[in-house]
């Protein structure tokens, strides 16, 4: 091994994946290490729950906790487009940290978007305010596939730089990296924008399996690189958001999507970081989503967590699943519903408290702060 230092994921270092965590630098002794800021993250309740280890209390974070409902987010975003803000390490760092100043959450999630790696390889995608991702020239024929070239670390230097800054700032709180799942990314590319029923995407899946698998193969390659880059920079867990995959039934999921998702999780396995797999409306897919190889299966609010436990194979932790709309109701309703989620979550081998989908823009941040405290207080375990 050339002289250098260990950076990034402790888990990757322990797993010996030096390409992910060893940086060669001149003028240092062999194997000199920097103070490893990620070692304490291994002992954080969030990572412990993902690994199904005993926890002092149930950890909590919120999908889409950054942005949207925070006035300080809207302030720093003034005059900066969504995707431009995702390429500025200073803004990425600031926005990622904003929710942690308000809520006692157990993890941060990187401020970015699922279309960032697509734009980084040259896809003409933009995020239009109030609409979502819009793709100028959709991908619908095999000739279009060449536009989905592999992602290199040099394509997203701002992600690496932001994560390195964040890991130092966050100290013992883990940072979750993320990427879009294959069906969800394919849907934006094929439809050309947000879609209710994903009809064109499913037409391609049913009508041209060869092109479909070639497309998902390329998306999986991009996703694997994007996630590996985040772990190499210091992310201590990752979440795959296949948000819209609930649009397909179990048989189609098994044949058309699962092989690609499995390849993503297999490629991440050697990094040693816990992987979370999430989708909306996936009650009938939960077992297969577990089989795809994640450590944690994310559950939306349509199915009680104890039922999700029965549907997911043993050896998995669960994440979820308070309906985000409950947070718009009076506090006594929030309290009652949150307690119910915690009680049902106790039947899982590991439970990370979360909403069943992202924070709604109109949510009062004060309620999110109170909810994090409630989850901790209600779940505290007596020291043994």
CB 294 within 8 A of CB 251: no
Size of the site for ligand CP3 (CB under 6 A): 23
Provide the mask over 52-91, with x wherever binding to ligand CP3 is found by CB under 6 A and - wherever it is not: -----------xxxxxx--------x----x---------
The reply to whether 68 belongs to the active site is: yes
Q: Which of 8, 59, 117, 133 binds ligand CP3 (CB under 6 A)?
A: 133
- Which parts of 144-163 interact with ligand CP3 (CB under 6 A)? none
**64 in catalytic set:** yes
Build a one-symbol-per-residue string for 215-254: x at contacts with ligand CP3 by CB under 6 A, - elsewhere. --------------------------x-x-----------
- Least distance in angstroms from the C-beta of 132 to ligand CP3: 3
Choice from 89, 138, 193, 194 touching ligand CP3 (CB under 6 A): 194
Indicate which single residue of 30, 129, 143, 377 sits in contact with ligand CP3 (rule: CB under 6 A). 129
Distances (CA, A) of 210 to 191, 199, 258: 18, 18, 15
Helix axes 209-233, 258-269, angle to 10 degrees: 20
269 given a catalytic annotation: no
- Which residue(s) pair with 179 in the sheet? 240
How far apart CA 80 and CA 86 sit, in angstroms, is: 10
Q: Which of 149, 118, 152 is nearest to 135 (CA)?
A: 118
Burial of residue 237, with CB atoms counted within 10 A of its CB: 0-12 exposed, 13-18 middle, 19 or more buried:
buried
3-state secondary structure of 127: strand
Catalytic status, residue 10: no
Task: Tell me if 109 contacts ligand CP3 by CB under 6 A.
Answer: yes
Q: Count CB neighbours of 44 within 10 A.
A: 20
How near is the Cβ of 304 to ligand CP3 at its closest, in Å? Answer: 21
Beta bridge partners of 239: 178, 276
Residues that bind ligand CP3 (CB under 6 A): 63-68, 77, 82, 109, 111-114, 127, 129, 132-133, 178, 184, 194, 241, 243, 358
| Active-site residue list | 64, 68, 77, 113, 188
């Amino acid at each position: 091994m050339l002289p250098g230092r260990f950076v990034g994921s402790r888990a990757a270092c322990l797993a010996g994946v030096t390409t992910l965590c060893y940086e060669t630098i001149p003028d240092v002794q062999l194997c000199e290490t920097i103070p490893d800021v990620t070692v304490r993250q291994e002992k954080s309740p969030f990572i412990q729950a993902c690994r199904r280890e005993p926890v002092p209390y149930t950890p909590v974070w919120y999908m889409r906790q950054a942005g949207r409902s925070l006035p300080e987010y809207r302030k720093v975003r003034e005059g900066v487009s969504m995707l431009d803000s995702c390429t500025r390490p200073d803004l990425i760092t600031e926005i990622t940290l904003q929710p942690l100043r308000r809520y006692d959450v157990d993890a941060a999630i990187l401020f970015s978007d699922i279309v960032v790696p697509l734009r980084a390889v040259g896809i003409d995608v933009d995020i239009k305010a109030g609409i979502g991702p819009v793709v100028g020239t959709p991908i619908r024929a095999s000739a279009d596939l060449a536009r989905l070239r592999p992602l290199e670390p040099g394509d997203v230097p701002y992600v690496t730089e932001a994560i390195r800054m964040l890991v130092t700032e966050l100290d013992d709180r883990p940072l979750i990296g993320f990427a879009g799942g294959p069906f969800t990314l394919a849907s934006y590319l094929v439809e050309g924008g947000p879609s209710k029923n994903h009809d064109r995407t499913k037409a391609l899946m049913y009508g041209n399996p060869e092109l479909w698998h070639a497309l998902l193969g390329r998306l999986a390659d991009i996703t694997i690189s994007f996630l590996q880059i985040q772990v190499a920079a210091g992310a201590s867990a990752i979440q795959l958001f296949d948000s819209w995959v609930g649009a397909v039934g179990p048989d189609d999921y098994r044949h058309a999507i699962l092989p690609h998702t499995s390849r993503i999780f297999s490629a991440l396995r050697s990094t040693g970081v816990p992987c979370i797999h999430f989708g909306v409306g996936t009650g009938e897919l939960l077992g297969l989503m577990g089989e795809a190889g994640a450590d944690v299966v994310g559950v939306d609010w349509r199915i009680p967590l104890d039922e999700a436990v029965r549907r997911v194979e043993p050896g998995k932790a669960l994440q979820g699943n308070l309906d985000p709309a409950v947070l718009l109701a009076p506090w006594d309703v929030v309290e009652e519903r949150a307690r119910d989620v915690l009680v049902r979550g106790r039947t899982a081998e590991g439970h990370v408290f979360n909403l069943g989908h992202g924070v709604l823009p109109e949510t009062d941040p004060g309620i999110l702060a109170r909810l994090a405290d409630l989850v901790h207080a209600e779940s505290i375990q007596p020291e043994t």
